[in-house]
Chain A
Amino acid sequence: MNPELLIHIILWSPLLGFIVNGLLGTRYNHTIAGTIACLGPLAGFVATVLLYFSFNQPISFSYYKWFGAEGHFNIDFSVMVDQLTLLMLFIVTGVGSLIHVYSLGYMGHDKGFVRFMSYLNLFIFSMLLLIMGSNLVMLFAGWEGVGLCSFLLIGFWFKNPEYNKAARKAFVMNRVGDLGFILGIFMMGMHFKSLDISTILSSLDGIQSNDPQIILITLLLFIGVCGKSAQIPLFTWLPDAMAGPTPVSALIHAATMVTAGIYLVARMGGLYNLAPFTLDIVLWVGLATAFIAATIALKQNDIKKVLAYSTVSQLGYMVVALGCAAYSSAIFHVMTHAFFKALLFLGAGSVIHGLHGEQDLSKMGGLKGLMKSTHVVFLVATLAIVGCPPLAGFFSKDEILAVAFSHHKIYFVILALTSVFTAWYMFRLYFGTFQGQYRGSEESKSKIHESPMIMLAPLFVLAVLSIIGGFAGMPEIISQHHYISEFLKPALADQPHHVSHFFEYTLWTVTVIALVSIVWLTYKRYATSDPNVFNKKENFLGTLLKDKYYLDEIYQTILVNPLKSLGSWSKNVFDPVVIDHFVKLPGFFVTEAGQGLKPLQSGMIGWYIMSMTIGLLTLIYLFLF
């Protein structure tokens, strides 16, 4: 089939779904609305598969001229599909379709079902703009669009003020990043005289390494990445974003939207290679985020919060890979992470659904007998994320660890420690939920049910992908072909990395030993019937972690509150007292003078107007004729 036609289908079918359901969705029943909504990303997925088979070189074309200023910038509404885009398309439409189907079950009884599904469609469309945009402004449009959908879906149950607050927080923190991003776009436009991605990337010859302009541009873009991909210091919105319905957490806040930042840096890899200074900062931000988020996850009791911090931490891994200029490794982890993290969230959603809204780990336990299918897929996902060989997470994480090692041993040490924490909090979560004894009330136990097939089917698909997904990128000690990095090679600007075979073997051995011991330790501890294990009194460090290093409180105290006070002071003091004081000085004299002229005003406005109108017409008559 004609590749351009396929691209039209991929891009526009989700938008069509949004428009149809948005305008007419309430006129027909949920089944029809749900089907229309699912058709959008499904059509996109099928078209992506077809596109993949007919793909031989990057395609780009323009729909129309969006806006421009001659001599400064010229922005087309244009799309581009290369290898990187194609891989992202598989993730977005594939995982997107699965989550749409899952939502039919999860949200089926909600009054806002149609609204929910149409937001999901709009999200997919925005995400597609983001990954298919051929210039930075198109990318930015998608970037803000996904932020908007995230806002809408976090605050989906809008009667709850807390949810509204979380939605606002997400949008605003993203906007902090967006400011950096758009300033980066401006600087790039002025520097390269173009905002077209491929034009910029092909005009990099002759620029010196660590050119100050390039450093500035890459740093500004990275601020945007910190906002969208939840890196320090802008990550605190993501855990709060879990207020949204669980499919949203899976799709937007784990599998797709939050990886947009990773995509951006990988896309602009050629530029980042010219700024080793920025890459160092990227690397350290990634390390710090991975480590800090993992430590917080150790002490959380809300299953979605654990997964949220885990997402932040995994995003940190990807950013570390970016910082090492190993862009394909980062994208590989984006892919495997999309599989297993979506699975974890959807599995958690299945648990929450089965437990009628319960999210507290201390009130779960022993669910393996009650929710057999969910238990199995959740276990698969847990093994995948902790990096158990040969599941998906093992290969992608192993690659990042190796890349970090080849840069500096200290990076490796921090990441390895983070991996230990990852395994700990994930098995704590798994054992706490599915093993041991049920810790809730007897009454609630009788109501627990396994989720319907429409929710389980997507879970099975994701479980299979979590198992085999890693084989697409096996290290050279096993296979000659690292399929992902070979496929992405023309689109990315990877710098080479080498680690010895000895290192690889050692790493694997240590991984397996560490995992076995962590499993044993966490099993002893958390496969229990005692809810106090999860609620015990913490020492200083434990409290610090449980309360998330008080970051929210710190931001509130040093940023939000002073601004609020300044606003209130301006409103109550500066405007009415300071400024108006000066205004009233001349006013006073005029009021006095006005007293004398008062009799001239009869007060009959109608009379004034009548004379004014006639006067005007007379004047015009006199001038014209």
Chain B
Amino acid sequence: MTAVAAPALPKRRSLYPGWFYAPAAAVYSVLFLAPTLASLYFSLTRWTLFDATFIGFDNFAQFFREPFLVQGLVNTVIYAVVTSGLKVVVGMLLALMLTSEIIARGYLRSVIFFPVLVSTVGVGITFTVLMHPTQGMINQTLAFLGMAGPGWLVDPRLALFSVALVDVWKGVGLATVIYIAGLVAIPRDYYEAARIDGATKLQNFFYVTLPLSRPATATVITLSFIGGLRTFDLIWAMTKGGPGFASDTIASVIYKQYQAGFYGLSTAGNVVLFILIAVLVVPLTMFLNRKQGHE
């Protein structure tokens, strides 16, 4: 009864008619394509929500003319590189530790993952309190040890990196989990072979673990890099882009333009962000995935 149909099945492109896609396509068009196209149009206008005047590429010219908007762009890239870089390194180290035979492994795994589950804004506010230059717990501890702590969030040279560190603290759990999955998927045979060849622990890591966990690395980099480029909530909760414009990223700049009522300008900023992400991430993923294909 069941064996009859299978061999006789003719070669067909699909069992289902194409219009089965229609509902999904409709939802996608209404909720994604239409707003995207509309925003492309509005980015070329001076828009008050009440009416829009077409002004060509003036918004984009404005966006790149202002010093703090350009700084926001630079900060965004710095932030993305720093956070994704640290997440790769720290995530890998934590995953190595948590896949080895250590005490309370399950407990430690949940501890590392816990910050991922907490609300970003809550984390931001908590760390803002901890990083207060005079009354914060971090600097008070440093003062107790006889060191003068820096103004984590009020020193313009440090603010962006302080936020990036908190981002890593909060997000490294996810990177660790991805790496743990990647590490346990490496067959034990490789390690046995390496041991027979007399490989040291360090050689084990650099010649077996690291190359074979490349898919995990690619995932971690892509996810955290995109996340870093469009980061907003943590920055807004901790510094609002301050002091001055020192920790502005492109997303916080866009939000401030929107808040000020420059709807056209902020839409133009979103188009810039969209292009920036595409320009940086598409080649990055192609690069990471091509290497993987050659394994």
A, B co-complexed: no
List chain B positions with a Cβ less than 8 A from chain A: none
